Structure 1
Amino acid sequence: MTDALFILFVLCLNVILCEWLIKKRAIRHIGTALLVILVTAVESNLGIIPTTETPVYDSIFSYVAPFSLFLLLLGVNLKDLRQAGIPMLTMFLVGSAGTILGVFVSVWVFAAPQTVGTLFYALAGMFTGTYIGGSINFNAVALHYNVSKAGNLFVAATAADNIMTALWMVATISLPRFFQRRFPRHLPIAAEAAATSSDADPFSDSETVNPNDLAILLALGFGGIFLSQKIAVWIPAAPFVLILTTFALILAQFRVVNRLRGSRLLGLFGIYIFLAVIGAYCDIAALIRDGQLAIVLFGMILLLVLIHALIVFGVGALFRQDWDVLGIASQANIGGATSALALARSLNRPDLQLPAVLVGTLGNAIGTYLGILVAEMLR
Structure 2
Amino acid sequence: MDIQQPVYILAFLCFLIFLSEWLCKYTKLKHLSSSLLVILLGAIAANFGLIPSASNASPVYDSIFQYVAPASIFFLLLGVNLKELRQAGMPMLIAFGIGALGTMVGVTVALQLINYQDVFGENYAAIAGMMTGTYTGGSANFNAIALEYGMVKEGAIFTGIVVADNIMTTIWMLITLSLPALMRRFRKNPETIARRTTRHIEHTDKEELSPLNLGLLVGIVLVTMFISDWLADWSAGQGVGIPSILILTTIALILAQMEFIKRISGAKLLGMFSVYLFLVVVGAFCEVTALAEVGANAIDILVFTGAIVLVHGLIIVLCGLIFKLDWSIVAIASQANIGGSSTALALAKTFKRTDLVLPAILAGALGTGLGTYLGFLVVGIV
What is aligned with 1:229? 229
How far is 1:346 from its partner?
1.2
Aligned equivalents of 1:4, 1:70: Cα separation in 2:
25
Q: 1:76-155 to 2 correspondence within 5 Å? A: 76-155=80-159
Counterpart of 1:201 in structure 2: which amino acid?
Answer: E
Q: Which residue of 2 aligns with 1:241?
A: 245
Give yes or no for contact 2:39–2:279 (8 Å, CA) kept in 1. Answer: yes
Alignment partner of 1:49: what SS? Answer: coil
Would you say the 8 A contact 1:156–1:293 is kept in 2?
A: no
DSSP-derived class of the 1:23 partner: helix
Question: Quick one: which of 35, 46, 53 aligns to 1:44?
Answer: 46
Aligned to 1:201: 202
Name the structure 1 match of 2:285: 281
Spell out, residue by residue over 1:164-185, the C-alpha distance to the aligned partner (whole angstroms, 9 max, x if none).
1111111111111222344334
Q: Distance in 2 between matches of 1:223 and 1:61?
A: 17
1:213 is matched with 213
- Give the deviation of 1:89 after TM superposition: 0.3
* Matches for 1:207-356 after TM superposition, within 5 Å: 207-236=207-236, 237-356=241-360
Please say if residues 197 and 350 of structure 1, whose CA atoms lie closer than 8 Å, have aligned partners that are also in contact: no
User: 141-150 or 22-31: which moved more?
Assistant: 22-31
Aligned to 1:3: 5
Structure 2 length-normalised TM? 0.95
Q: What amino acid is aligned across from residue 121 of structure 1 in structure 2?
A: A
The aligned counterpart of 2:19 is: 17
- Counterpart in 1 of 2:369? 365
Q: Residues 289 and 188 from structure 1, CA distance in 2 versus in 1: closer, same or farther, beyond 3 angstroms? A: closer
Which segment is superposed worse, 280-289 or 34-43?
280-289
Q: Residues 121, 189 of structure 1: CA spacing in aligned structure 2 closer, same or farther, 3 A cutoff? A: same
What is the Cα-based RMSD across aligned positions, in Å? 1.3
Note the alpha carbon deviations across 1:271-309, whole angstroms, 9 max, x for none.
Answer: 000000000010123313421322211111111111111
Shift, 1:196, TM fit: 4.8
Superposed displacement of residue 197, structure 1: 6.6
After superposition, the C-alpha distances for 1:58-109 in whole angstroms (9 at most, x for unaligned) are 1000001001111110111111100000000001000000000010011112
Asked if 1 retains the 8 angstrom alpha-carbon contact of 2:146 and 2:152, the reply is yes
SS in 1 for 2:197: helix
CA deviations on 1:2-24 (whole Å, 9 max, x unpaired) are: 10000000100001101010124
Answer whether contact 1:196 1:354 (CA < 8 A) is retained: no
**Deviation digits for residues 300-339 of structure 1, max 9, x if unmatched?**
1111111111110110111111110000000000001111
Q: Secondary structure at the match of 2:25?
A: coil
The aligned residue for residue 174 of structure 1 is: 178
Counterpart for residue 74 of structure 2: 70
1:188 Cα deviation from its structure 2 partner: 3.9
Structure 1 stretches lacking a partner, 5+ long:
none
Deviations 1:151-172 (A, max 9, x none): 1010001110111111111111
Q: Per-residue deviation at 1:25?
A: 5.1
1:376 shift after superposition: 2.0
**How many matched pairs?**
374
Amino acid at match of 1:54: S
Q: Aligned match of 1:61 in 62, 65, 68? A: 65
TM-score, with normalisation over the residues of structure 1? 0.96
**C-alpha separation in 2, matches of 1:306 and 1:321:** 19
Q: Distance in 2 between matches of 1:265 and 1:164?
A: 27
